[in-house]
Structure 1
Amino acid sequence: MEKLTAVFMSLLTALSLFLGCAGSDDYEKSTGLKAAIDAVINKNEIVSGKYIGEESDDIWNESDEYCLDETFILKKEKGKDFVILNITDTHFSDYDFRAFTAFDVEMKIKTLVAAVKPDLITVSGDIVCTESTRYAIGRITDLFESFGIPWAPMFGNHDYEGNCDKNYLADVMMSAPNCLMKKGDPSMGVGNYIINIAEDNEDGSSDIVETLVIMDCRAPDRKKQIEWFKWVADNTNRITEKSSEITVFTHIPLIEYQYAYDAAWDAENKCWREGFNAYGQCNEKICYDSAPDGTAALAGLFEAMKESGTTKFFFCGHEHLNNFSVEYEGIRLTYCLKIGVASGSKFMFSGGTEIRIGKNGINRILHKSLALGPVITLEDIPTE
């Protein structure tokens, strides 16, 4: 086995020398095949390091003034849907087998972007994983930046488990001109921010038609994070006079996904019950995560969403074999279709989720599968 490993490493070294990447110290700029090979060759050097980014000095207080100028504002063309493509669970890594399965993921993302033609790409966590991600984060940043459109990443549970902390990963992504990420108050994690979708009027004014709230799924102070969401919702309702929807994106599902599934799924007849407008499948355990005190992750957020009166959608990633979407107590809870195959997959379940926003908010959700090669619609979920 050792001889085979030595031969394999020699071949990689020879190929990397041919590509001009062996011995490079510029890890973040190595992309594609060069990045995968260079990561394997420099494994020991990379893993031995710990890369720490700069912590945000933002401190949020509920008395803070809500300023639209401090949010990201994207324009929706009048008479045309604003299109979001959600990508989740890409699972890029530096030197293990995921460095090579990432080639398939890259091609699938490029195919999806070409087919969907999104105005915004949201990336719902587990972007990178395993003990070394220094190459991987630069590699995937370059990929999303190559499309020349805004993209909004958030962290999952795997991103920061290796040699790069959340701040370092965020620094790399935020260095890209089209990345919309903000770190926010560090007590609430890294990556709590707001994107407003606005449509211009003939008189030169503009109306917000949708507010996207991006949330870190593992905030140190979860109660404060929920208070921040309430502050966002209250101020959005005030500014828009409750005329626009609020949608939440994060990585890990709420415990209400379990409640919704239990209520909507008829296990005896193996079908969805009427009254929940349910679509899709549940093929693995719903892992809503637990806080250190044993309570469900983001416990209380669902109630805050209901209290807002305008939060109608919640999107997550995390479970690779689930893609169901259920209306529960006035809010549609949706698992986005996963694209990474390295951490569990199911036939037809590799792809992304298209979210279409009209003048009155989200009007369609489509799971786009790439399992057969071309992009096909696995689920078409009407929301109006």
Structure 2
Amino acid sequence: MQLRLNSNETFKICQLTDIHLGASPLIGKSQQTLAALGKFLSVNSFNLIMITGDLIWGKLVKDPQAVLYKLYDLLNKFEVPVAVTYGNHDTEGKFNRQNLRNLESHLIFPADKHHSFITADRENYTLEVFRDNGELAHLIYVWDSGSYSKWQNKEEYAAIEPEQIEWFNHLPYKRAASSIDLGFLHIPLKEYQLATEKIIQGKKKEKICSPVTNSGLFYSLARKQNVKAIFAGHDHDNNFIGEYRGIKLGYGNITGYNAYGTLPRGVRVIELMNDCFKTETQLFE
């Protein structure tokens, strides 16, 4: 499904993150999550739903199709394009990321992916947002940040792979420092720790659970200058937006009730405009 600006030249994104649905049949807090999300989407309009990982508890879910189809059936009720990337908990079961990506075919309104690139079972892709005249207005970059480190005796979480950075560096887009583009992933970059020195909005209620290894994606972002913000999930008790070297580094807001965290559940809303973007969290009732 092609992404297009609203008539007023804006583009509104709903970021869902850390939904953490449990085993089928869904009961308790998993049902509570779907009910709250359905109610929220029924009274709010968006141009894109971006899901940034940990859709399910992989260790608990034996049948990911049964569980994810419940989520996708809900999203299919709304004519809004949906894009997905995955987190560390999604593939803790006996299924891999390719298995989960295959289930995305159940979405009736998938967002059009461009320049899809898979390495180490992680899919990276872009989403293109167009004006009515066919001109490219904004780019959204999606990185699958993986799950756990190959060297877990040294660090817990995986770093972005060098091939994923090379993918970004060699995309055929001509973007400028004046462009208003965004990125999404699940596990925050190491630079999020530096961004806590300049928190603009939101709350930091737990440590930044980033990889120990800094594989260099932020350097490429800073050099190209078109990506104005990156949004992650992963840390349930963080929903802040910080800034480091002119790039906003922020979190979504935990969506799922079936997980740890004291923050109220909800979503992050991001609105892209011609020369800036604005963002806020919106909580479930």
Q: Report the TM-score range of the alignment, normalised by the length of the smaller protein.
A: 0.7 to 0.9
1:231 to 1:73, Cα distance in 2 relative to 1, 3 A: farther
- Give distance in 2, aligned partners of 1:221 and 1:111: 35
Alpha carbons 2:159, 2:211 under 8 Å: kept: no
2:6 is aligned with 1:77: yes
When structure 1 is superposed on structure 2, of 72-81 and 208-217 the one drifting more is 72-81
2:201 is aligned with 1:285: no
Of the two structures, which has the highest relative contact order with CA contacts closer than 8 Å and spacing of 6 or more?
2
- Give distance in 1, aligned partners of 2:159 and 2:281: 32
- Give distance in 2, aligned partners of 1:251 and 1:80: 28
Counterpart residue type for residue 163 of structure 2: K
2:231 is aligned with 1:302: no
2:27 is aligned with 1:88: no
Higher strand share: 2
Alpha carbons 1:86, 1:124 under 8 Å: kept: yes
Give how far 1:197 is off.
1.0
Alpha carbons 2:117, 2:167 under 8 Å: kept: no
Counterpart residue type for residue 368 of structure 1: Q
- Aligned partner of 1:329 in structure 2 is 245
- Give distance in 1, aligned partners of 2:199 and 2:90: 33
1:84-163 counterparts in 2 under 5 A?
A: 84-95=13-24, 99-131=27-59, 132=62, 133-163=64-94
Aligned counterpart for 2:275 among listed residues 335, 345, 360: 360
- Aligned partner of 1:189 in structure 2 is 121
- Give distance in 2, aligned partners of 1:357 and 1:314: 13
Alpha carbons 1:212, 1:248 under 8 Å: kept: yes
2:135 is aligned with 1:207: yes
1:119 to 1:185, Cα distance in 2 relative to 1, 3 A: closer
Give how far 1:129 is off.
1.5
Give how far 1:100 is off.
2.9
1:198 to 1:326, Cα distance in 2 relative to 1, 3 A: same
Question: How many residue pairs are counted as aligned between the two chains?
Answer: 270
Give how far 1:142 is off.
1.5
SS at match of 1:105: helix
Give how far 1:282 is off.
0.9
- Give distance in 1, aligned partners of 2:58 and 2:82: 23
- Give distance in 2, aligned partners of 1:147 and 1:330: 35
SS at match of 2:3: strand
Counterpart residue type for residue 37 of structure 2: I
Counterpart residue type for residue 165 of structure 2: I
Alpha carbons 2:268, 2:279 under 8 Å: kept: yes
- Give distance in 1, aligned partners of 2:91 and 2:44: 30
SS at match of 1:103: helix
Give how far 1:207 is off.
2.5
- Aligned partner of 1:56 in structure 2 is none
Once the two structures are superposed, residues 186-226 of structure 1 have per-residue CA deviations (whole angstroms, 9 ceiling, x without a partner) of 325333111111112xxxx3322210001101289810100
- Aligned partner of 1:244 in structure 2 is 179
- Give distance in 2, aligned partners of 1:221 and 1:254: 8
- Give distance in 2, aligned partners of 1:302 and 1:336: 19
Alpha carbons 1:93, 1:135 under 8 Å: kept: no
Stretches of structure 2 lacking an aligned partner (at least 5 in a row) = 147-157
Aligned counterpart for 2:165 among listed residues 226, 235, 240: 226
Once the two structures are superposed, residues 120-146 of structure 1 have per-residue CA deviations (whole angstroms, 9 ceiling, x without a partner) of 100010011133234212221212222
- Give distance in 2, aligned partners of 1:163 and 1:207: 43
- Give distance in 1, aligned partners of 2:57 and 2:76: 20
- Give distance in 1, aligned partners of 2:217 and 2:110: 26
- Give distance in 2, aligned partners of 1:102 and 1:250: 23
- Give distance in 1, aligned partners of 2:108 and 2:217: 31
Give how far 1:317 is off.
0.5
- Give distance in 1, aligned partners of 2:219 and 2:271: 25
Once the two structures are superposed, residues 331-375 of structure 1 have per-residue CA deviations (whole angstroms, 9 ceiling, x without a partner) of 00111111112221215x21001111122242x1010112xx2xx
- Give distance in 2, aligned partners of 1:338 and 1:192: 22
Counterpart residue type for residue 94 of structure 2: N
Counterpart residue type for residue 334 of structure 1: G
Give how far 1:77 is off.
2.5
- Aligned partner of 2:194 in structure 1 is 259
Alpha carbons 1:148, 1:178 under 8 Å: kept: yes
SS at match of 1:91: coil
Counterpart residue type for residue 131 of structure 2: E
Counterpart residue type for residue 245 of structure 2: E
Higher helix share: 1
Give how far 1:181 is off.
6.9
Calculate the TM-score normalised by the size of structure 1. Answer: 0.65
Aligned counterpart for 1:318 among listed residues 226, 230, 234: 234
1:144 to 1:210, Cα distance in 2 relative to 1, 3 A: same
Calculate the TM-score normalised by the size of structure 2. Answer: 0.87
Aligned counterpart for 2:257 among listed residues 341, 346, 359: 341
